[in-house]
Amino acid sequence: MRRIKLHWWILIGIGAGIFAGVLTQHLCIAADIPVESTAAYAAYDGIATIFMKLLKMIVIPLVFFSLVSGMQGMGSLARLGRLGFKTFLFYMGTSLLAILTGLTLVNLIRPGVGFQVEVPTTPVDKELPETFWDVLTSMVPDNVIRAAAEFELIGVILFAILFGAFMLTLEGEKKTVLSRFIEACSDVMMKMTGFVIALAPVGIAALIAKLVSVTGTKVFIEMRWYVVTVALALGVHLLVTLPALIYLFTRRNPYRFIWTMSPALFTGFSTASSSGTLGVTLKRAEHGAGISNRVASFVLPLGATINMDGTALYEIVSVLFIAQIHAGIDPTFSLTLGQQLLIVFLGLAVSIGAAGIPHAGLVMMVIILQAVGLPVEYTALIWAVDRVLDMCRTVVNVTSDSSIALMVAHGEGEVAEGSD
């Protein structure tokens, strides 16, 4: 078992999951029973749920301890500020490039032109933030314990950043004792993460089997050009743009780096949650790619929540897809240049504000649709195919976080040679 690397175990898990899912679906169709009523489905669901819960269980303490300990590693507020600024520039830069890719492809392929559709009247039944300001204010927690309990990562991160920053101003024994305590807690969380990761191949197999056994293909055929546009744009960002940036900034082999990070990408793919994947991302970045603990534990937890290239790209493609459909139904409708710029700006803002959990990007899209006067009911179309697209954009989100961690660490001379 030791000899085979984790990546391969996960790939075997994905293969086994697809096989089990297809088999279950076929057997159920032959026997004319609903998939959800079978013992096999209950097992996939049970294992997948336990795996997801374990991943989520470690996130809050992991984010807090690794972020605070990463910040102490910076030594001073000045260095923290410099690194924070650089990291933020990378986050924004890569997200804008992703948006540009999405914008280009959605205008070339035009998936919504000629799309015949009855506007579905059932609105999305999720609680939605109403305005841009609602999103911003919701980022500040009034109670950090409640924020943690409700998995509001931005609130926890904000608290951790303030805690870490003020901890840097402590002096003498207090500082030493607290630093060692936080560092030790962070080490324990990393070990716990290692334990959960060891279960990844089985958890991922169950997640995939569950998905494959119930998802039909019909809806994908109707929405094919939209799915193709999103997938292609994500592919370009993942395989061309990010590797080019990695090469440009580090002169390292980007594909080798991506392969080193692949257990995190597979986990992101199967869970559709960059926050849930954070433990794996941190572990691979440090132990696989040789990125120093202080850079990884600062850049990755922040990135998992605010840097979402895949989500930004997907927002743009989806809103313009909806605009294209709507223009076909209501010929008086067209987007002004100002509205298009607003979409780009809000796409970026939404990708920062969206939580790293499944479907967050789709829920937040309503903000953009409302801002440019498009009916939010169109999102019902997208829900039908969102799970798979969510899995794909989460891979891009995780890859972008990891790539930025590598680029920042390289700039600081903090990548151990030869470990990837």
Residue with smaller CB distance to ligand ASP, 87 or 271: 271
Residue with smaller CB distance to ligand ASP, 62 or 354: 354
> Letter for the amino acid at 11?
L
Q: Which residue is nearest to ligand ASP (CB)?
A: 361
Least separation in angstroms between residue 215's CB and ligand ASP is 17
If you search the block for the tokens 């920053």, which residue do you land on?
Answer: 165
Residues 278, 144: Cα–Cα separation, whole Å: 20
SS (H, E, C) 292-311: CHHHHHHHHHHHHHHCCHHH
Residue 142 in tokens: 């009034």
Residue with smaller CB distance to ligand ASP, 247 or 383: 383
Least separation in angstroms between residue 397's CB and ligand ASP is 4
One DSSP character per residue, 32-99 reads T--GGGSHHHHHHHHHHHHHHHHHHHHHHHHHHHHHHHHHHHT-SHHHHHHHHHHHHHHHHHHHHHHH
# binding residues, ligand ASP (CB under 6 A)? 16
Considering only residues 69, 311, 402, 403, which one is a binding residue for ligand ASP as defined by CB under 6 A?
Answer: 311
Residues 354-393 that bind ligand ASP (CB under 6 A): 354, 356-361, 390, 393
Least separation in angstroms between residue 273's CB and ligand ASP is 4
For ligand ASP, what does the binding mask look like between residues 272 and 301, x meaning CB under 6 A? xxx---------------------------
- Taking each helix axis as running N to C, give the angle between helix 309-329 and helix 360-371, from 0 to 180 degrees, rounded to the nearest 10: 50
Fill in the DSSP letter of residue 415. B
Least separation in angstroms between residue 311's CB and ligand ASP is 3
Least separation in angstroms between residue 35's CB and ligand ASP is 24
Residue with smaller CB distance to ligand ASP, 203 or 356: 356
For ligand ASP, what does the binding mask look like between residues 240 and 279, x meaning CB under 6 A? --------------------------------xxx-----
Residues 281, 293: Cα–Cα separation, whole Å: 12
Residues 196, 188: Cα–Cα separation, whole Å: 13
Least separation in angstroms between residue 354's CB and ligand ASP is 5
Residue 362 in tokens: 């789709």
**Neighbouring residues of 197: CB distance < 8 A, sequence distance ≥ 6:** 6, 263, 267, 279, 280, 283
For ligand ASP, what does the binding mask look like between residues 389 and 418, x meaning CB under 6 A? -x--xx--x---------------------
Asked whether position 207 contacts ligand ASP by CB under 6 A, the answer is no
CA distance to 133, 246, 284, 328, 334, per residue, from 338 (Å): 20, 33, 42, 21, 11
Q: Which residues bind ligand ASP (CB under 6 A)?
A: 272-274, 308, 311, 354, 356-361, 390, 393-394, 397
